[in-house]
Structures are given as C-alpha cells and as structure tokens.
Amino acid sequence: MRAWRSWSFRRLRGKVFRKTTLLFVLFWFALWILVNTLVFMHGTIFSDFCTDEKSKRILARVCEEYKEGTLTGDLCEDLCINEQVVYKKCLYYEKGKKVIKATWRGIPVILKSKLENFSAYETFGLLDYQEMQDISSMDIIFLAMLQIKNSLGLELKNTTIPTIWAKYLQGRAEPFSQAELATMWSLLQQEEYMFFKMLQDLSRHVVKVMGSCGHFYAVEYLVAGHAWNQNLFAIEELMDSLSYDRLTSRGAIHKIALSFLDMVKHFENDFSYLLHLCDIKPENFAIRKDLTVVAIDVDMAFFEPKMKDILEQNCTNDADCNFFDCYSTCNVKTRRCGAKRINSNLQVICDKIFRHWFSPSLIDAKANLPLQVQLQQAVQRCAEPLDSDQEQKRLFSELYKLLQTSERQLHE
C-alpha cells in the first residue's frame, strides 16, 4: 500500500512538473511574441511619426544628393543654395509618404513625396543598357507614356493626357542629363504627382504643382477641410472677417456645394475616361478664395480602366466588392466582383458632404423654408443608391437649380 502511494505521488509530481514546464514554456513564448510585436509596432509607428527634426534631415539629404549631382529640379537651387525655401513644419507621414509645409519665395507650399529617400525609387532602366548620348527624346517619351499607362491605367490611344505629358518632354532641345532622367523617373513613379501635373492644365479642381527637387514636389498650399469643423471647411479664413456672419457662411456653403457639383460633372465628362473618387472626405479637399473646390489628395482617384481592374476581384458577397467609397456587386456564381461601379462620385458627396450641410438644424430663419425642405429632400435622395444613370442626371440638375435659387434668395 505504501509503495502504491509512493508510486502515485511520483506520478502526480511528474504530471505537475510537466504541466508547470509546459506553462513556463508557453509563457516565455507568448512573452517573446509580445516583445517582438511591440518592437515591430514601435518601429512602424515611430518611423512614421512626424517630427520637425526628421523632416529637416530628409530635406538636408535631398540637398546633399543635389550637390553631388544625383538629382535635380527647378526647386533645388532655392531649397539648397539660395535658402528661398523656408521649412515651416511637418504635416504628416503616412505609409512612407512625407508631407511637409514650407514657403517658397514667401509663398506657402506643401512638399510631398511618396517615399522618404530618392534611392527607394526604381532607377531609370534604360541607363543600364545604353549610354546617355544614345538615349533619344522619343525613347524617353515612350517610356514616360508607358509608365503613365501602367500607373494610371490610361491607354496610350484615345486620351489627351499622355499627349499633354509628352508636350513637356518634346520641348527639349538639349539632351537630358543623368540626374534629370533619374529625377523624372522618381516623379513618374508617384501617381499623385502625375495626376496633379497632367490635370492642372485641364482642370481648376486639382491643386497646382509649383516645382520639384528630386523626388519631392511642391504644390500650392490650401487649407484642407476637417470633419470636426462645423462647416467642414474653414470658411471664415476665406472671407473678410469684418463682414463674416452666419448668413455669409450659408451663402458660401451654397457656392461651395455648387463647385462640388461642377467638379463631379467635370470629372465625369471632360476627360477621355471617367475619373472615380474612392476616398471622399473633407480632408482630401480644399477651397480656394473664390470658393472653388480643389482635390488636394488623389491617392484614391482612378480613371475608368484602372477602376475596373481594382473592382474585378474574387468575392463571396457584396461586401467583398467595396473598395473604400467605390462599390461593386458580387456574382455568386462566378465568385467575381463586377467591373462596373454601382455608386457614383455624386452619391458619395451627397452622403458625406451635403448631408452635413443641408439638415433641418442648419436652416436659417431668413431662408425660404419650403425651398430648404426641397433641398434637404433632394440631398437625401441623392445620397441613396439610384436606379439608373438617367435618374442621377435628373437629380443632379434638380440639386443644381435648388442650390442656385437658394443662394440667390440668401442675398435678397
């Protein structure tokens, strides 16, 4: 009996020991995973943590490479030699993208780059196979247009945009230097830069590119909207503070809303392909002094060919076919999303912008109440899915007329 108890005790002790050992190993394994996760998160978060010190180092590195002859640009001399570009502050870092506020010859600008370092961009491949003097302007034009096609999804035929880009390259009499080609190639790898550069001659609804140095390019500074702002945009900063009041604010909102509708019509009809905006929020737009709406962040803007490629993915239900603000439907038989977007720029703007402005709580005492109710109802219908393109066109016209009439009455 005593032997049996001794054997049972040893067996129990062995089980406890093994269990304790297992728990100890699991604890240290979990701790190891936790520490590595925290290290990774720390590196990821703080590598994208926006600081003035880091931003100044980044720009100093750009200037070093300019002085070494690695990169060039029409902004470089003023940034690196003449001190005409004055650093103001870091605005934000996001997934490698760097956005910095500065002044250029006293004019506020925003400096942008998709990646931090010039060396992070792919090199101009033709330099690996040919001498500089053997590269013709036509070679460069062809490669630039091919890059546009691959990045933006634009065909080389039947569109005016690559032709406009080629115009800049064909104007050159002297051959391009290696620094110029490397700089051009780094900019061509930034979709947002290409959008702004090519559309600025065609549209008043995109921000203007002022110049560039290496992979950084400068655009005009405009105050972005914010969801927490009562009017979404800082209207009081755009207007004379002495004459600014609530009625002035409502009149400005009507004008801005009309400009949003002008932009919708422009993006849908004035290019060879429809331009889809898949991330519509106040932060991605700004307002000029004349109350024109300007797209200042187009990372999620796509022309029709690229939009189709993005939407046409595998799926199990309709939710799998939602790409930010651009929606498609799932074919359960083929398990593929449809290539056609089922909502529109107008619908999303009505939902995310106009609903905030045209609600019962924002009706002015001096406003024509029946007209404001009509406007609210039109906005509500616009924000919901529409049955056809024809219905959208009809609703667009109705909204436009209501806004024009309402704006006139505010000034009577």
| Residue ranges per structural domain of the chain | 45-221, 235-309+346-410
44 pLDDT tier (thresholds 50, 70, 90):
very low
∠ CA 93-96-97 to the nearest 5 degrees? 60
Distance between CA atoms of 303 and 312, rounded to whole angstroms? 14
Task: Classify residue 314 by its DSSP letter.
Answer: B
- Please report which confidence band the pLDDT of residue 14 belongs to, taking 50, 70 and 90 as the band edges: low
**pLDDT at position 400 over 60:** yes
At 407, the pLDDT band (50, 70, 90 cuts) reads confident
Name which of 297, 294, 293 is nearest 112 in CA terms: 297
Mean pLDDT of 147-168: 64
Which pLDDT does position 41 carry in this prediction? Answer: 44
- Output the pTM of the full model: 0.83
Average pLDDT over residues 323-331: 97
Token pair, residue 182, equals 């490397």
Q: What is the Cα–Cα distance from 168 to 197, expressed in whole angstroms? A: 11
- Mean pLDDT is highest, among 348-352, 370-374, 386-390, for 348-352
- pLDDT digit string, tens, across residues 62-105: 999 999 999 999 999 999 999 999 999 999 999 999 999 999 99
Mean pLDDT of the chain: 84
Running DSSP on this structure, what letter comes out for residue 90?
E
pLDDT digits (tens, 9 = 90+) for 208-236: 999 999 999 999 999 999 999 888 998 88
Lowest-confidence pick of 148-157, 297-306, 333-342: 148-157
CA gap 362, 250 in Å, rounded: 9
Q: Mean pLDDT throughout 106-132? A: 85
CATH class held by domain 235-309+346-410: mainly alpha
Write the CB contacts of 370 (distance below 8 Å, at least 6 apart in sequence).
none
Span 356-378, pLDDT tens digits: 999 765 555 545 578 888 999 99
* pLDDT band at 3; cut points 50, 70, 90: low
φ and ψ at residue 301, rounded to 5 degrees:
-110, 130
CB 249 within 8 A of CB 364: no
Start-end of H helices in 111-208: 137-152, 161-170, 178-188, 191-199
List, as own/partner pairs, every contact residues 397-406 make where C-beta atoms lie below 8 angstroms and the sequence separation is at least 24, other chains included. Answer: 399/261, 399/350, 399/375, 400/258, 400/261, 402/371, 402/374, 402/375, 402/378, 403/254, 403/257, 403/258, 403/261, 403/375, 404/258, 405/371, 406/254, 406/367, 406/368, 406/371, 406/372, 406/375
- Give the pLDDT score at 310: 96
Q: Which residues pair with 98 in a beta bridge?
A: 93, 113
The answer to whether residue 45 scores a pLDDT higher than 50 is no
Q: What is the mean predicted confidence (pLDDT) over 303-330?
A: 96
Angle, vertex CA 240, rays to CA 235 and CA 245, nearest 5:
65
Compute the CA torsion angle 167, 168, 173, 175 (nearest 10 deg). -120
Confidence band for 61, pLDDT divided at 50, 70 and 90: very high
Contact 356, 232 (CB under 8 A): yes
* pLDDT exceeds cutoff 60 at 278: yes
